[in-house]
Chain A
Amino acid sequence: MRSNKSIAHRAIRHRLLEIAGAILALGAVLPAWAQLRIEITSGVSDPVPIAVVPFSRAVPADGGLDVAQVVQHDLEGSGRFRARQRGQMPATPTQASAVVLADWKNAGDDYIVVGRVVPVEGGNLAVDFDLLNTLTGQRVAGQRFVGTPSALRNAAHRVSDVVYEKILGIRGAFATRIAYVAVDGQPPAQKFQLIVADADGENQRLVLESRYPLMSPSWSPDGQWLAYVSFENKKSAVYVQFVRTGERRQVSARAGINGAPVWSPDGKKLALTLGGSNGNPDIYVLELQTQTLTRITDDPAIDTEAAWAPDGKTLFFTSDRAGGPQIYRIGVNPGDRPKRITFGGNYNARPRVSADGTQLAMVTLDNGNYRIAVQELSSGTVRVLSKGHLDESPSFAPNGATLIYAEREGNRAVLGTVSVDGLTGLRLKSEQGEVRDPAWGPFAQ
């Protein structure tokens, strides 16, 4: 829809909307937002002791952000590190050459991170850091991340990612984002919000707000778009929305159910559920550019909740064709037949595949409790990871090492994370209202 307003008027609107958008994005200023608090729920029994020394600051350009605090928070939140508290630092070096290894080794820290935030050209900030092994003296890592002052928090998360990977050998996923649905109020007068935030719950940005349900957010592989289901027209429809500008398109509002959209690994298609006017949900693939629709399942059962394997050639989905929901796999080529994948218990649903294609997350009914489980696809071995009663909506971090999911704390819907080895976990809670239906975004491109 093009405006007929004059260019000058449009420029003013643009500016004002930008300001409004910027104000609304400051979660700290507006407590009514579903501000997330993090609580560590479990960690390994032998965390790596590390010291993250306060970085030197670039005042006032750094906006008061304590980069080392963000890094420490990330590492401790992973449940695999124990960080030295500020008040107990034997010294405060900011570069490798100033580190007296003995100080830290004697204090019991295996590693030390030191760093500096410095202004560089173009109004940007550089974050320089060194990671030292205090036992060997080796400089394990050292890097510089440059960006705008508003991206300083992201630079801090990238430091965490490097530290995590160098020490644990697994790529970190701290510099990633999550999408989730926040619900406020009681039925029947509820308000629904689709929110994007950093993986630590900070930097929330409202994607959409509605008086009608929003569900099933799904990230595009480049992390620029979200697909989701909205009931704003009093029935379900699938939309895709460009997160940075808010531009959105309705991609399916066919008769009956339009649901469970998931982006293909090549970013060109959505697998989704269509019910039609007979109300029989089946899986389809919609090519976004051409709007070509390909039917994948054709069965009187409920077939829904498709998930792509990373090769883009196979879909996993939930079907109750065997009586109760179980997970099946099917190729996207015509004529491919579905193969049942889950055999443990009466309820296995909502598959998600890790980025390396080896693991399948699901919701499983475990002795009367709905829990998150992971099945190793090569062996069929299933491990139940979460411990709640009504856990649902698992989503893999892009490093495949952690899952975010929806759970309950008492009567409130909250988000949880659990590592695939079952050893670490976090809870993310809203200050007010409920949060659910999380989707973990991809690594930054």
Chain B
Amino acid sequence: MRKILIILMAAMALSSAGCKSNKPKPGPSSQTEVGNAADTSGADAANAGSVGSDDEAAGPQAGLLAKRIIYFDFDSSDIKGDGTDIVAAHAKYLASHAGTRVRLEGNTDARGSREYNIGLGERRAQAVRRALLLQGATESQLATVSYGAERPAVAGNDEPAWSKNRRVEIVYLAPGGQPAVVQPQR
């Protein structure tokens, strides 16, 4: 009986996680599956933990290196303006720190079709990647990922919000872990 009560309370806690008074805390457990009856992997998965921000590092902070976001015009993956300088600064840093790796996270604004936006976000991340390679970084230092429109920086549905979401973020990674480029299994 006591065990049933504990599960019920856990269930209520889970369900109230969306209420303002009880914000979900960031933590190792990023997902919970329900409906797993006999299979214990559901509970195991809940404790498996997410990568979270464990793989990220603060990275260099001097001058332009503290700027980690490159912004883009609508429907464009051209790096221009401030973006050019920011990329140059990080390329120079990476060129002189061979063991340092970054993840380039490509994003779009919310307009249009979601999976097509994944492609556009990737196009932006790849544009930054190519620019970094041209300016001295090496392949194994650069990982890319696209979040498309799924991880906006700013909520809102107008150009001020959209302009802040069309971006590539340069995320420095902690030493160790996977090499940046993993061979595709084909």
Contacts and interface: CB of A to CB of B under 8 A. Distances in A.
Interface of A: 1, 3, 5, 10, 12-14, 16-21, 23-25, 30, 32-33, 184-189, 191, 205-213, 215-216, 231-236, 243-248, 254-257, 259-260, 273-279, 281, 293, 302, 304-305, 318, 320, 324-325, 347, 349-350, 363, 365, 370, 390, 392-393, 408, 411, 432-433, 437
B116 A325 contact: yes
A17 B17 contact: no
A243 B35 contact: yes
B182 A277 contact: yes
Interface of B: 3-4, 7-8, 10-12, 14-19, 23-24, 26, 30-44, 50-51, 55, 75, 110-116, 118-120, 122-123, 125-126, 129, 144-147, 150-157, 181-186
B119 A14 contact: no
A209 B32 contact: yes
A205 B35 contact: yes
Contacts of B119: 257, 273, 275, 281, 302, 304, 320
A13 B15 contact: no
B24 A276 contact: no
Contact of A260 (B112, B115, B155, B185): B115
Contact of A191 (B18, B153, B183): B18
Contact of B111 (A247, A370, A437): A370
A363 B174 CA distance: 41
A248 B33 contact: yes
A278 B24 CA distance: 36
A17 B110 contact: no
A210 B37 contact: no
B114 A437 contact: yes
Nearest to A324: B75
Contacts of B116: 302, 304-305, 318, 320, 325, 349-350
Given A211-B26, A234-B145, A3 B113 contact: no
A326 to B, nearest CB: 11
Contact of B55 (A23, A207, A234, A274): A234
A33 to B, nearest CB: 7
A184 B151 CA distance: 13
Nearest to A253: B185
Contact of B114 (A30, A216, A231, A320): A216
B36 A246 contact: yes
Contact of A21 (B34, B120, B126, B157): B34
Contacts of B122: 256-257, 275, 279, 281
Contact of B184 (A191, A273, A276, A393): A276
Given A21-B37, A212-B30, 12 more contacts: A13-B40, A21-B35, A189-B24, A209-B31, A235-B145, A244-B35, A246-B37, A247-B41, A277-B184, A279-B146, A320-B119, A393-B113
Given A216-B115, A246-B33, A187 B152 contact: yes
Contacts of B75: 324
A161 to B, nearest CB: 26
Nearest to B44: A1
5 contacts: A211-B26, A248-B33, A255-B184, A320-B116, A392-B114
Contact of B153 (A187, A210, A324): A187
Instruction: Please list the 6 inter-chain residue pairs (A to B) with the smallest Cβ-Cβ separation, ordered nearest first.
Output: A302-B119, A246-B35, A213-B150, A30-B15, A32-B18, A349-B113
Contacts of A20: 7-8, 10-11, 34
Contact of B150 (A24, A186, A231, A247): A231
B118 A281 contact: yes
A17 B42 contact: yes
Contacts of B8: 19-20, 23
Contacts of A32: 15-19
B182 A259 contact: no
A369 to B, nearest CB: 10
B151 A17 contact: no
B3 A255 contact: no
B32 A188 contact: no
A273 B121 CA distance: 14
A257 B150 CA distance: 14
B174 to A, nearest CB: 13
A353 B186 CA distance: 29
A244 B41 CA distance: 15
Nearest to B24: A191
A186 B23 CA distance: 11
B165 to A, nearest CB: 9
Contacts of A10: 38, 40
B119 to A, nearest CB: 3
Nearest to A212: B30
Contacts of B41: 1, 247
A347 B112 contact: yes
Contacts of B12: 30
B146 A257 contact: yes
B30 A390 contact: no
A370 B155 CA distance: 19
Given A212-B50, A213-B150, A216-B114, A255 B33 contact: no
B112 A349 contact: yes
A272 to B, nearest CB: 10
Nearest to B119: A302
A291 B4 CA distance: 41
A59 B111 CA distance: 51
